[in-house]
Structure 1
Amino acid sequence: MARRKEHTHEQIKTMAIEAVVMHLQHDNIETLSLRKVASLIGYVPSTLINIFGSYHYLLLAVSEQTLAQLANKLSLEMNDNPLLNIQQMATIYSEFALQNRRCFRLVFELSMPDDQPLPIAHLSLIKSLFGLVESQLLQYFPEADSQKIEMMSRVLWGAIHGLTSLALDGKLFEEQSCLQDMLISHVQSYIAGMSIKKEFTCY
């Protein structure tokens, strides 16, 4: 039976998001539905529709929470060495993905219906994540303009995400411990390559 007066909308929102996260710790998103989430928290589906708008936007809220948690982890323990910071961020990124496999996948597999744009809050989180990388690259390449730094951050992190995704799928065909070595090798090689290019290119 629905417990319509027991919680505020914000509390129900939190409960629903937590229910999805708990489910994804042991099962796939395909086995979940709006009705099941509502049942898990003791409400009817229409209550969640009133709060989130649709099941899709409930999943988007889970995705946003995952991005926020990732951003929080990536922003910790920065030092004065941008190369080491980027290497550490790559390691934290992969560890977070491996520890939160299904929530991490949801972030990148969830698409907006009917080509609708992502909500501003979601876009802001993505921008803040890249901003962490860009701030470190700017320390390493202070002569580069913002457009160049933005491009470099996407190229650098695209490969980090690719290696992480392959590890999630078990497609690296290497021991899991080798992932960290691969990530560090990529970061070092990319930064070294761009440093050499900097000597011959005016930003």
Structure 2
Amino acid sequence: MGRRSDHTRIELEELFVAEGRRQLAETGLARFSAREVAKRVGYSIGTLYNVFGSYDGLMLALNARTLALWAQHLRDRLAAAGDDRIRALVCGYFEFARDNPKAWIAIYEHHMADGGPAPESYQALAADLMSVAAGEVARELPEAAAEAVLALTRSLVATVHGHCAFALYRTFSMLGETAPADAALARVRETLEAAKTRDR
């Protein structure tokens, strides 16, 4: 019998998220079990769904926590970056994925059961993460319009993300690339330099 009144709703949410993140880091999304999360916390699956509404609700809470931690990691990395902030940003991207591989991948593997978009609050966290990168692109391209900065940032993030995913899945090892973070950084620098030349 699961406990029913030991914790407030807010406390329950934090317990489930903490255990869910621990389990996700251990199993990955493919073997992740909401029922096992509830069991390990000591509550019924019904209590978990009362808190989050559904399996999707739980996964959104877990991925939202990952996004928030990721954005903070990048901000911390930039705060200690010195002059080469672009290197700090790219390396910070790779570091977070390397240190949290299964939680990081779960952000991209999970899709809403109804095929619809994630709630606005979740999208805001993703936008906040993007804004960290966009801020650094804007520093490099002070004359560029905000829309152009955001469009370029999306492409640069996609470039870094692809390198990072290939590194995590060891695809680069098969292709002979031994320094994927350095390769991603080189592509970012090349693109920024090309954009600066166009703006002159």
- Check whether TM > 0.5: yes
SS at match of 2:171: coil
Aligned-residue offset at 1:177: 6.0
Contact kept, 8 Å, 1:91 with 1:183, in 2: the verdict is: no
What residue number does 2:85 align with? 85
Please give the alpha-carbon distance, in whole angstroms, between the structure 1 residues aligned to 2:64 and 2:28: 18
Aligned-residue offset at 1:116: 2.3
| 1:69 and 2:63 aligned | no
Unaligned segments of structure 2, at least 5 residues: none
Aligned-residue offset at 1:14: 1.1
- Structure 1 residues 175 and 33, CA gap change in structure 2 (3 angstroms): same
Runs of 4+ in 1 over 4 A off after TM superposition: 174-177
What residue number does 1:143 align with? 143
Contact kept, 8 Å, 1:163 with 1:183, in 2: the verdict is: yes
Aligned-residue offset at 1:119: 1.3
What residue number does 2:195 align with? 194
Please give the alpha-carbon distance, in whole angstroms, between the structure 2 residues aligned to 1:24 and 1:114: 22
Q: Which moved more, 1:95-104 or 1:69-78?
A: 69-78
Q: Which moved more, 1:133-142 or 1:4-13?
A: 133-142
Once the two structures are superposed, the pairs formed by residues 48-197 of structure 1 within 5 Å of their partners are 48-76=48-76, 77-78=78-79, 81=83, 84-173=84-173, 178-197=179-198
Please give the alpha-carbon distance, in whole angstroms, between the structure 2 residues aligned to 1:35 and 1:154: 36
Q: Percentage identity across aligned positions?
A: 26
Counterpart amino acid of 2:151?
M
Please give the alpha-carbon distance, in whole angstroms, between the structure 2 residues aligned to 1:3 and 1:120: 32
Please give the alpha-carbon distance, in whole angstroms, between the structure 2 residues aligned to 1:95 and 1:73: 9
Say how many residue pairs are matched. 197
Q: Which moved more, 1:1-10 or 1:24-33?
A: 24-33
Counterpart amino acid of 2:195?
M
- Residue deviations 1:55-76, cap 9 Å, x none? 1110110000000000001112
What residue number does 1:2 align with? 2
Please give the alpha-carbon distance, in whole angstroms, between the structure 2 residues aligned to 1:30 and 1:155: 28
Counterpart amino acid of 1:138?
A
Aligned-residue offset at 1:179: 2.1
Unaligned segments of structure 1, at least 5 residues: none
Root-mean-square deviation over aligned CA pairs: 1.8
Please give the alpha-carbon distance, in whole angstroms, between the structure 1 residues aligned to 2:181 and 2:169: 16
Aligned-residue offset at 1:11: 1.2
Aligned-residue offset at 1:40: 0.9
Aligned-residue offset at 1:176: 8.1
- Residue deviations 1:126-167, cap 9 Å, x none? 111111121222222122111101111011111000000001
Please give the alpha-carbon distance, in whole angstroms, between the structure 2 residues aligned to 1:35 and 1:175: 42
Counterpart amino acid of 2:193?
A
Counterpart amino acid of 1:90?
V
Please give the alpha-carbon distance, in whole angstroms, between the structure 1 residues aligned to 2:34 and 2:75: 33
Aligned-residue offset at 1:124: 0.9
Please give the alpha-carbon distance, in whole angstroms, between the structure 2 residues aligned to 1:192 and 1:80: 20
- Residue deviations 1:81-106, cap 9 Å, x none? 4xx21221111111110111110011
Aligned-residue offset at 1:29: 2.2
Q: Which moved more, 1:54-63 or 1:190-199?
A: 190-199
Please give the alpha-carbon distance, in whole angstroms, between the structure 2 residues aligned to 1:194 and 1:10: 47
What residue number does 2:37 align with? 37
SS at match of 2:144: coil
